[in-house]
Chains A and B, each alone.
Chain A
Amino acid sequence: MDEVLLRSLTPSVLGILVRRGADFAAAEDAVQDALVEAVRVWPAEPPRDPKGWLVTVAWRRFLDATRAETARRRREDLVDEEPAPGPVPAADDTLQLYFLCAHPSLTPSSAVALTLRAVGGLTTRQIAQAYLVPEATMAQRISRAKRTVSGVRFDQPGDAATVLRVLYLVFNEGYSGDVDLAAEAIRLTRQLAAAFDHPEVAGLLALMLLHHARRAARTAPDGSLVPLAEQDRGRWDTKLIAEGVEILQAALARDRLGEFQAQAAIAALHADAPTAEETDWVQIVEWYDELTRLTDSPVVRLNRAVAVGEADGPRAGLVALAALDESAPSGSSSRGDSLPRRAAVAAYLHERDGNLAKAARLYVEAAEKAPNLAEREHLTRQAARLNAQLRR
C-alpha cells in the first residue's frame, strides 16, 4: 500500500471534484471515503491508473451522498445532471486548495488541520495524534473549518503569505509520532513549490530543508537539547543542505527578497560552516539587518543581538539587546523583557562577557520562562554549571 502516493494524489482528486461542481465539504468527505476504500482494495487489486480510480470512486461517493440527501427532500436523480468529466489542470486545482485551506477566516489551528487533511491527505486520527488532542476534537475542528470555507469561491487567488505561514506552523510543531509533521510540511511545501512559482515558496522550502538537515544532531539520545555550536556536524544531512542551498540560490537570484529567503540565507550560513568557530557571523548580521527591514519583529532583533555578540563581541551584543528594550513601548507585550528567550540571550552574552553571577541568575530566570521541557532543562543545566564554577 503506497501511502505516500495516496497522499500526494489527494489534493488533485479533491480539486477535480470541486471543479466539477461539488461543494468543498461534501467533496472532501467523498475523497476521504475513497482513500479508505483504496487502502482496503488496492493491496489485492492495484489499479492501473490510481488517480483515475480515486476520482471515479470519490465522484460516485459524492453522487451517492448527494442523491441520499436530495431523495429526502425531493425524489430526484442528480446523475442525469452530472457534468461531463473534462480534462482538468491538476496543478492549478492543488494550488487553489492550498489557498482555500489557509483562508484568512480560519484560525491558525483550523487552517493547519484543514490543510493536513485536504491537501496532505492525512486522516483525522493521524492529525489528532500529531497534535495530541482527541480524535473527536480534531473532527469538530476540521468540520467547522470546512463549514467556514464552504461559501468561498474556489477560483479566487488567495494570499500566498497566509499559505506559507500555515505550512511553517506545521513544520514548527515538531512532534514526531505516527506522522512526522516536519517531514509532512516539507512534502507539502515541495508540492506547493511545484505548482506555484514564487521566490518566497522556494525560500520557505529551502529554510525547512536546511533546518531539517540538522535535526539528527539537535538532540542527544536522552532527548536533551544540543546547541548549534556543540552539534556534531558530521550528523548533518549534507544532501538536504546542498538541496536547500541550491533552491535558495535560485530564489535569491530572482531579486525578490522576502522574509523566508532571508531566514534561509542565515540557516545556509550556519550549515556552510565546517566548525562553529568558522561561522560567518558578519554576513549573518547583515542578513539579520535585511530581516529587520522586512519584518522588524522583536524576535528577529533578539536573534540579531546574538549574531552581533558573535561578530563584534559580547559587549556589542549587550548594547544591541539594550536597544531592543528601549525601542519597545513600555508595558507592551513586545517589550524586550517579556520576549521569549530574551533572558537566555542576555545570560549567554553576560557569561561571555565574564559576568558569571549575573549570567547564572539570568539562566534561572530563562529556565522559569522556557515554554518546553527540553529547553527548561538545558537552561537549568547552564545555571548549575555556572554556579558550580562560582563556588570553586
Chain B
Amino acid sequence: MSKYLLLKHYRGAPAAVNDVPMDQWKPEEISAHIQYMNDFAARLEKTGEFVDGQALAPEGTWVRYDGEGRPPVTDGPFAETKDVIAGWMVIDVDTYERAVELAGELSAAPGADGKPIHEWLELRPFLTEPPTITE
C-alpha cells in the first residue's frame, strides 16, 4: 500500500527503443497511443490503483527568488538538453513489484508503425507519513 509517481519525459530521459518523434507518426498511431494510455488509466481505476494523472505542456521555466524588491529570476524556455516532464500518473499499489509491472505496461504504449515505443519511465516512490510504530 504505497504510492508511486510514474513520470513521462519529453526530453532528458534515455531514448526509447522505438524512438520516432510523435510528429512523424501517422494520425491513427497517435490516436492508438492516446487510447492505450486512457485505457491504462481506466483499468487502474477499476482495480482501485489509480490516484491521479495529468499531462504537462513541454514549456517549463526555472524560477528563482532574486532578492528583496526584485522580480524573480527566470531562465526562459528550456534549452534542448534540459529534462522536461511530459506528464505524470500517481498509482497506489500493494508492492514495488506491482508498480514496476504497471510502469512496464505503460512503457509498452504503441508508437510509430503500431509498435511499442519502449519509452523509459521514471518510477518514484512517495515519501509517506511515518508509521505508527517505529521504535
* A contact set with B: CB distance below 8 Å: 107-110, 112-113, 131-134, 136-138, 140-142, 144, 169, 171-175, 182, 211-212, 215, 218-219, 225, 228, 267, 270, 370-376
Q: Is B122 an interface residue (CB 8 A)?
A: no
When the two chains form the complex, which single residue of A112, A171, A219, A228 contacts B1, counting CB atoms closer than 8 Å? Answer: A112
Question: How many Å lie between the Cα of A224 and that of B74 in the bound state?
Answer: 33
Q: Is B58 an interface residue (CB 8 A)?
A: no
Whether the Cβ atoms of B132 and A215 lie closer than 8 Å is yes
Q: Which residue of A lies closest to B52 (CB)?
A: A134
Whether the Cβ atoms of A144 and B48 lie closer than 8 Å is yes
Min Cβ gap B34→A in Å is 21
Q: Which 7 A-B pairs have the closest CB atoms?
A: A141-B48, A174-B132, A140-B48, A109-B1, A172-B131, A373-B127, A374-B130
When the two chains form the complex, which single residue of B48, B125, B129, B135 contacts A174, counting CB atoms closer than 8 Å? Answer: B129
Question: How many Å lie between the Cα of A142 and that of B93 in the bound state?
Answer: 14
Q: In the complex, which residues of chain A have a beta carbon less than 8 angstroms from the beta carbon of B1?
A: 108-109, 112, 131, 169, 173
Most buried by A among B1, B3, B47, B132: B132
Q: Which residue of B lies closest to A267 (CB)?
A: B135
Q: Is B7 an interface residue (CB 8 A)?
A: no
Whether the Cβ atoms of A211 and B132 lie closer than 8 Å is yes
Q: In the complex, which residues of chain A have a beta carbon less than 8 angstroms from the beta carbon of B3?
A: 132
Q: Which residue of B lies closest to A212 (CB)?
A: B132
Interface flags for B115-127 (1: CB within 8 Å of A; 0: not) read 0000000000101
Whether the Cβ atoms of B134 and A225 lie closer than 8 Å is yes
Whether the Cβ atoms of A109 and B94 lie closer than 8 Å is yes
Whether the Cβ atoms of A211 and B127 lie closer than 8 Å is no
Q: Which residue of B lies closest to A370 (CB)?
A: B127
Question: How many Å lie between the Cα of A174 and that of B1 in the bound state?
Answer: 13
Q: In the complex, which residues of chain B have a beta carbon less than 8 angstroms from the beta carbon of A112?
A: 1
Helix, strand, loop or mixed for chain A's interface?
helix
Q: In the complex, which residues of chain B have a beta carbon less than 8 angstroms from the beta carbon of A133?
A: 48, 50-51, 92
Most buried by A among B47, B52, B128, B134: B134
Min Cβ gap B3→A in Å is 7
Interface flags for B96-134 (1: CB within 8 Å of A; 0: not) read 000000000000000000000000000001011111111
7 pairs of residues in contact across A and B, judged by CB atoms under 8 Å: A109-B1, A109-B92, A133-B50, A141-B48, A174-B132, A372-B128, A372-B130
Q: Is B64 an interface residue (CB 8 A)?
A: no
Whether the Cβ atoms of B45 and A140 lie closer than 8 Å is yes
Whether the Cβ atoms of B127 and A372 lie closer than 8 Å is yes
Whether the Cβ atoms of B130 and A110 lie closer than 8 Å is no
Q: Is B46 an interface residue (CB 8 A)?
A: yes
Min Cβ gap A74→B in Å is 30
Question: How many Å lie between the Cα of A112 and that of B2 in the bound state?
Answer: 13
Question: How many Å lie between the Cα of A212 and that of B93 in the bound state?
Answer: 27
Min Cβ gap A288→B in Å is 12
Question: How many Å lie between the Cα of A133 and that of B45 in the bound state?
Answer: 11
Q: In the complex, which residues of chain B have a beta carbon less than 8 angstroms from the beta carbon of A113?
A: 48
Q: In the complex, which residues of chain B have a beta carbon less than 8 angstroms from the beta carbon of A215?
A: 132
User: Assuming the A-B contacts A137-B49, A140-B48, A169-B1, are A375 and B92 also in contact, with contact meaning beta carbons closer than 8 angstroms in the complex?
Assistant: no
Whether the Cβ atoms of B130 and A144 lie closer than 8 Å is no
Q: In the complex, which residues of chain B have a beta carbon less than 8 angstroms from the beta carbon of A169?
A: 1
User: Assuming the A-B contacts A108-B94, A137-B92, are A144 and B133 also in contact, with contact meaning beta carbons closer than 8 angstroms in the complex?
Assistant: no
When the two chains form the complex, which single residue of B45, B47, B125, B132 contacts A371, counting CB atoms closer than 8 Å? Answer: B125
Q: In the complex, which residues of chain A have a beta carbon less than 8 angstroms from the beta carbon of B51?
A: 132-134, 137
**Extra contacts besides A132-B3, A144-B47, A372-B131 (12): CB < 8 Å:** A109-B1, A132-B92, A134-B50, A137-B49, A137-B92, A140-B47, A141-B48, A173-B129, A173-B132, A225-B130, A370-B127, A371-B125
Whether the Cβ atoms of A375 and B130 lie closer than 8 Å is yes
Question: How many Å lie between the Cα of A374 and that of B129 in the bound state?
Answer: 7
Question: How many Å lie between the Cα of A144 and that of B43 in the bound state?
Answer: 12
